[in-house]
């Protein structure tokens, strides 16, 4: 069986795609996305995303994307769904009605356990101004590059100055 090409395989195709992710589960939110899981609309591959830089005035955030097993998204959805119904395409659990601290700590511990079982280095870096709904810039990355980058905007060829991470 021949493998099919997906726009998440190519930075250029990812930029051209409108709303490339069908489901985004936000694990951390601070005036916008910080980290979470995103499912490719076309091939259903799941990525863990983490914000590595942001520029507040333009609202641009830079994220790393690392591939994780597709089961991770389903397991995380099952865990959060015990307390709140999913709201797709962008779900920020407990944003409107936070859980009690003790319960939230248990949920976060389960999600952290899930994510630490498969640590893959990021495969791509993307810049977005709209919660990953559209990608402004994208570039593949190696683990060697990841460990050396000091200016994520410069790595992507963007001429903005980043702010300290929250």
The domain locations on the chain are: 7-156
Instruction: Say which residue, 133 or 94, is predicted with more confidence.
Output: 133
Q: What is the pLDDT of residue 107?
A: 78
* Residues forming beta bridges with residue 137, ordered by sequence position: 127
What percentage of the chain reaches a pLDDT higher than 70?
A: 90
Q: How confident is the model at residue 166 (pLDDT cuts 50, 70, 90)?
A: low
What is the pLDDT of the chain when averaged over all its residues? 85
Q: What is the pLDDT of residue 164?
A: 54
* pLDDT tens, residue by residue, 110-152: 777 777 766 678 999 999 987 888 899 999 999 899 999 999 9
Q: What is the DSSP string of 79-134?
A: HHHTTS---SSEE-TTSSSPPPHHHHHHHHHHHHHHHHTS-----EEEEESSTTSS
Q: What is the pLDDT of residue 2?
A: 46
* pLDDT tens, residue by residue, 67-80: 898 888 998 898 88
Q: What is the pLDDT of residue 118?
A: 66
β-pair type (135-140, 90-91): unpaired
| Predicted TM-score (pTM) of this structure | 0.86
- In three-state secondary structure terms, 13 is helix
């Amino acid at each position: 069986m021949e493998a099919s090409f997906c726009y998440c395989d190519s930075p250029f195709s990812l930029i051209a795609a409108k709303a490339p992710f069908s489901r985004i589960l936000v694990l951390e939110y601070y005036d916008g996305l910080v980290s979470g899981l995103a499912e490719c609309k076309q091939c259903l591959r799941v990525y863990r995303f983490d914000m590595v830089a942001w520029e507040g005035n333009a609202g641009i955030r830079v994220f790393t994307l690392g591939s994780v097993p597709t089961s991770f998204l389903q397991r995380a959805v099952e865990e959060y769904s015990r307390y709140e119904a999913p709201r797709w395409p962008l779900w920020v659990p407990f944003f409107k009605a936070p859980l009690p601290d003790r319960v939230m700590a248990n949920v976060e511990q389960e999600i952290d356990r899930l994510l630490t079982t498969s640590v893959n280095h990021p495969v791509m870096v993307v810049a977005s101004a709209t919660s990953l709904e559209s990608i402004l810039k994208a570039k593949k990355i190696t683990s060697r590059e990841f460990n050396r980058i000091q200016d994520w905007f410069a790595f992507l060829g963007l001429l903005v100055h980043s702010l300290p991470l929250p």
